[in-house]
Amino acid sequence: MLVRPSLELWRIIRIKAQFQVVIVAGTRHKYSVCERVPAMSASISGEDPHFEGLSNQVVTKDRFGRPVVEIDDMLFHYKGSKMAATGGRQWPKGRIPISFDGISEDRQAQIRRAADLWAPAGIKFPDKAANDYAYLQIIASKERNLTTVGFGMVGPHTCELVSWGDIPTLAHELGHAIGLEHEQSRSDRNNYIVVNIENLTKFGNDQFAKSSRIVHQTEYDVSSIMHYKQFVSDKRFVIDPEEPVFYLKEGVVVTGRAGMGSAPTKLDLEGVAKFYGGHLGS
Ligand SMILES: [Zn+2]
């Protein structure tokens, strides 16, 4: 069922006080250890830039009028004068309720298949229940994938999708919902890959901006589901699709493929399990 923004906002206001208690209870012992802070740009706050060298971050509004910043397929909520102190964090108990608004059964099944790939890390994606006041709202898009990074607030968290037939990409988007940013944005990535800057457009170059706030839960994983592919066909990003967008540094051994493969890797799952305060398989 499509929920109208006005109704949704009214409900958010109504339950806000109640939910804040839940957030505090769920985060007290955890966030000081593995807090993941969302993007912050020099152009927004003038301090502590999150993505180095990224020039085009602007604050826009989402469908509910909430201030947000979009970076590639990631959406970050913005609050006050700083990028949200909310956002990019763990969902309570690793539980991410999903609301399907006007999404066909076939597409819902695709999402569930992608969601199951994260189950070994202890992440659950149940259907939204009536008392789930924070949830991932799956929306069909004509043109793009765009997902809110991590848990941020009461209310709907955006997950706009266009890649319905592509389970790895759906798993990648759900990785953002879990709280992950792009692997190649890690501050230590130059130890593992060499970005082929000459083959990137300005827009493509922005996608490789390093993020100083990504918390490294595991060693760098070139095969991460959150890593860009080595070859990109989209001419918005690359000049020559036949050429790679990055090379592996000499001595870097990859067991799978370089760039995202078909599913979250063991390191992806380990990292998420750790991020949520658990262990793989626990
Ligand atoms: Zn992404």
What is the whole-number distance in angstroms between the Cα of residue 13 and the centre of ligand 1?
30
Measured CA to CA in angstroms, residue 198 lies from 190, 205, 239 at distances of 16, 9, 8
pLDDT tens readout for residues 200-230: 998 888 788 877 667 788 889 999 999 999 9
What is the whole-number distance in angstroms between the Cα of residue 60 and the centre of ligand 1?
19
Closest to 214 in 3D by CA, of 271, 160, 252, 152 = 271
pLDDT tens readout for residues 96-126: 999 998 999 999 999 999 999 999 999 999 9
Task: Yes or no: say if 258 and 192 are a contact pair by the CB < 8 Å rule.
Answer: no
Annotated binding residue at 182?
yes
Residue 8 binned pLDDT confidence (cut-offs 50, 70, 90): very low
Query: What integer is the mean pLDDT of 37-52?
Result: 33
Taking the whole predicted model, whether its pTM rises above 0.85 is answered as: no
Residue 15 in tokens: 């339950």
| pLDDT computed for residue 114 by the predictor | 98
Annotated binding residue at 279?
no
Active site residue 181: no
What is the whole-number distance in angstroms between the Cα of residue 173 and the centre of ligand 1?
6
> What is the Cα–Cα distance from 34 to 124, expressed in whole angstroms?
19
**pLDDT averaged over the chain?**
77
Annotated binding residue at 172?
yes
Q: Which of 160, 173, 181, 183 is catalytic?
A: 173
**Cα-only R_g, the chain:** 18
What is the whole-number distance in angstroms between the Cα of residue 226 and the centre of ligand 1?
6
